[in-house]
Structure 1
Amino acid sequence: MASTDRLEELAALEIADADDLRRFARTCRPAVIRGRFSTWPAVAAGKRGGTEALAYIARFDAGLSAEYFAGGAELGGRYHYGEEAGGFNFMRETASTAHALDRIAGNSGRGNETVYLGSLPVDAYFPGFAEENPCALLGADVRPRLWAGNRSTVACHYDSYDNLACVVAGRRRFTLYPPAAIGDLYIGPIDHTLSGQPVSMAAGASGDEAYPRFAAAQASAIVVDLEPGDALYLPKLWWHQVEALDPVNILVNYWWDGFAAGPDSPYTAMLLAMIAVAERPEAERAAWRAYFDHYVFRPNGHPLAHLPEERHGVLGPLRDGNYGRIRTLVMRLLRGG
């Protein structure tokens, strides 16, 4: 069974400003921030009802088109892979956001299909929304995205950025798994995905016979229910399944990486390591693991702690110009120089 104990400890956490959130982000733990966005006009509209919330969002519509997911009632709102390899159990459609929002509103009464409109940059699609519904927990350069739809279950996935998810209308249930659970979640292909990130084949599936290790992941799971005005801080790489529980559900989220030293991502480094290391003999992989631990993960501290800082060379602080020096070296090596 999933645990809520660790979640309850975090539910009362006070995160008052961006500095508090940055300090907490260093722990790489999720946190619930109850009622933090209850003063948003969008949330007030959501508390009056789903159609009221959609009408409020529509006030800001810039008239653009967007892709959205659509599925029949038999889907039960669970967007996932289809029965055949390479397929999905839903349709991707493109229309104006006004049409998509009207379709979501219509479905809320009929229930004969589900529509899911996701990850729309608010500044482009709904200009003015962010100014009426501000977030003081992040810098002005971190911009919101909007998600709206009917009842749905979004497959368990991870994000490569930190995530602040703010519920505007409807209830959301997040089922969280720590990064270390990846081996027990039976992850699908990384190059054939529902919406950019690989997903768990086991989470939300019926029957455990095909995924015997999933029980270990379930033992580490955390489940949280969010009401309008609540927010969830979700660290990067935490796996999460997201259930929208009401006929109309709206969420605003913010993605950012507060600890990036430059434009290069850890994911890019992992992909390069896959082609450089993954299929070498087991004993050689173990040797390289020792080097990665020593130079990258540093469980015993800085690899040149035994030398004065002035002798650390490119292993000195990245902010002192070593980011660019190492990047130049890497690019030269990739070019065969």
Structure 2
Amino acid sequence: MTLVEGASPIEECNASDFGAAEDLRALAAQCRPTIIRGHCSDWPLVSIGAQGADAAMIYLAQYERGARAEYFWAPAELEGRYHYGAGPGGFNFSRETMYVRDALSRIAANGLDGGETGYLGSLSFDDHFPGLEIENSSFLVDGHVRPRLWVGNRSTIACHYDGYDNLACVVVGRRRFTLYPPDAIGDLYIGPIDHTLSGQPISMAAGAAENAVAYPRYANARARALILELGPGDALYLPKLWWHQVEALEPVNILINYWWDGFSSGRDSPYAALLLAMIAISERPAREREAWRAYFDHYVFRQNGHPLAHLPEQKHGVLGPLAHGNYGRIRTLVMRMLRGG
């Protein structure tokens, strides 16, 4: 694992610095990307992958159970850059649903002949590779957080964010991550939120050849980028909402990741609140939006502490701790409003 020359510094530690999942929770509370060197170096898949990509693919095939998945592929001239384009659905790549074993064979063949590039993304271990996690699992995540597998050829996955914390473990090949902090969103020129490559909106500027002319503010984001390369055995803790472009650098690459939200109070996501705020506030007059910003800062972001800190706790009502039943009380109020009651 090395940092790319000229990149901004990033926190780095060794796997031995962590003892259990509680350490990862403490790291997540800081919302700071951190490289964990050697975190998965003792996994059999890492050791077998060191013998060559073919050995790793044979190892994976032992656990494959005949399920089907979506396979993404692009012609060789695109060099694995998956983005919008003139192809099916307005993208420059194609999708096919096929048996995982056939997709693995196709990826292996691509790695040999340098033709098309392809990948399988976010494959559930439980559905596609049951048992693989027995010897290839992270001690830093709770057992209910299930691993996912990514396998493919050389590729560049467009800059996007995830709504969950992410532990990304590189097991075969090398990965280059380009990271931008959440507040760089205004300089990244984000594309549509309802017509996306694979679920999340992407930056139109990051990685675009014409970004200096078409996206002048992108220079601000580029100056703040963290660029790093991870090799087999290394892991990256990536906080939720951090923008990241991911490049798989070898003919065949395999990554295992874990997504989780360790600070959720219930099943409602912050993104749902964002969408509701968009329809309720975004097109109101500028001065009214500023007024609502003050209320959000006071009640939600709590820049000055708890909004009822001046009153005894027994007087806090639904603004008391969510775990004390107030999550359900507030949710009931919201659902009643949404129903027009």
TM-score bin, normalised by smaller chain: over 0.9
Instruction: Output the CA distance in 2 between the equivalents of 1:297 and 1:48.
Output: 50
Shift of 1:3: 5.5
**2:245 counterpart residue number:** 241
**Is residue 59 of structure 1 aligned with residue 98 of structure 2?**
no
Q: Which of these residues, 198, 203, 216, is aligned with residue 200 of structure 1?
A: 203
- By how many angstroms is 1:72 displaced? 0.7
Q: Does 1:68 align with 2:71?
A: yes
SS of the aligned residue for 2:139 comes to coil
TM alignment of 1:184-199, pairs within 5 A? 184-199=187-202
Contact 2:87 2:94 in 1 (8 A): no
Scaled by the length of structure 1, the TM-score of the pair is 0.97
Q: CA deviation at 1:134?
A: 2.1
Higher deviation after alignment, 10-19 or 110-119: 10-19
The answer to whether the 8 Å contact 1:123/1:130 transfers is no
Q: CA deviation at 1:5?
A: 4.0
Offset at residue 148 of structure 1 (A): 0.3
For 1:224, what is the secondary structure of its paired residue?
A: strand
Cα shift at 1:15:
2.7
Q: CA deviation at 1:12?
A: 4.9
Distance 1:250 1:212, change over 3 A: same
RMSD across aligned positions (CA): 1.4
- Does the alignment pair 1:168 with 2:178? no
1:245 aligned partner, one-letter code: L
Q: In the alignment, what sits opposite 2:300?
A: 296
Aligned equivalent of 2:12: 10
- What amino acid is the match of 2:149? L
Which of the residues 44, 47, 54 maps onto 2:50?
47
What's 1:263 paired with?
A: 267
CA offsets per residue over residues 274-329 of structure 1, 9 Å max, x none?
00000000000000000000000000000000001110000000000000000001
Q: In 2, are the aligned partners of 1:3 and 1:221 still within 8 Å (CA)?
A: no
Shift of 1:21: 0.6
Tell me, what secondary structure is at the counterpart of 2:24? helix
Look up the SS of the partner of 1:252 in the other structure. Answer: strand
Whole-angstrom CA distance in 2 between matches of 1:204 and 1:134? 32
Q: 2:282 aligns with which of 265, 278, 283?
A: 278
Please say if residues 2 and 218 of structure 1, whose CA atoms lie closer than 8 Å, have aligned partners that are also in contact: no
Aligned length: 336
Q: State the distance in 1 between where 2:97 and 2:318 align.
A: 49
**1:325 matched residue in structure 2:** 329
Between the aligned partners of 1:124 and 1:114, the Cα distance in structure 2 is 24
Secondary structure of 2:9's match?
Answer: helix
Local SS of the residue matching 1:138: coil
The CA deviation at 1:84 is 7.7
- Residue 271 of structure 2 aligns to which amino acid in structure 1? Y
Paired residues for 1:15-30 under 5 Å: 15-30=18-33
Relative to structure 1, is the Cα distance of residues 3 and 282 closer, same or farther in structure 2, using a 3 angstrom cutoff? Answer: farther
Please identify, of 84-93 and 120-129, the stretch whose mean Cα deviation from structure 2 is larger. 84-93
- Whether 2:199 is the aligned partner of 1:216: answer no
Q: Which residue of 2 aligns with 1:231?
A: 235
Q: CA deviation at 1:52?
A: 1.0
**Deviation of 1:4 (Å):** 3.4
2:281 aligned with 1:307: no
Greater shift after overlay, 21-30 or 82-91?
82-91
Residue 130 of structure 2: aligned partner: 127
Quick check: 2:8–2:227 contact (8 Å CA) kept in 1?
Answer: no
Moved more, 64-73 or 190-199: 64-73
Whether the aligned pair in 2 keeps the contact of 1:3 and 1:222 (CA below 8 Å) is no
Q: What secondary structure sits across from 2:12 in the alignment?
A: helix
Once the two structures are superposed, what CA deviation does each residue of 1:120-167 show, in whole Å capped at 9, x if it has no partner? 101110001011212110110000000000000000000000000001
- 1:10 positional shift: 2.5
Q: Distance in 2 between matches of 1:275 and 1:312?
A: 29
Describe the SS at the equivalent of 1:164: strand
Aligned positions of 1:41-120 closer than 5 A = 41-83=44-86, 87-120=90-123
- Distance in 2, Cα, partners of 1:187 & 1:115: 25
Matches of 2:92 and 2:225, distance apart in 1:
26
Shift in Å, 1:81: 0.3
- 1:40/1:225 CA distance change after superposition, 3 Å: same
Partners of 2:303 and 2:96 lie apart in 1 by 48
Q: Which amino acid aligns with 1:63?
A: G
Tell me the alpha carbon deviations over residues 12-52 of structure 1, each in whole angstroms, 9 at most, x when there is no partner.
58233211110111110000000110010011111111111
Partner of 1:335: 339
| Candidates 320, 324, 328, aligned match of 1:316 | 320
Tell me the distance in 2 between the aligned counterparts of 1:134 and 1:197.
Answer: 26
Q: Which runs of 5+ in 2 are unaligned?
A: none
Asked if structure 1 preserves the Cα contact closer than 8 Å seen for 2:174 and 2:250, the reply is yes
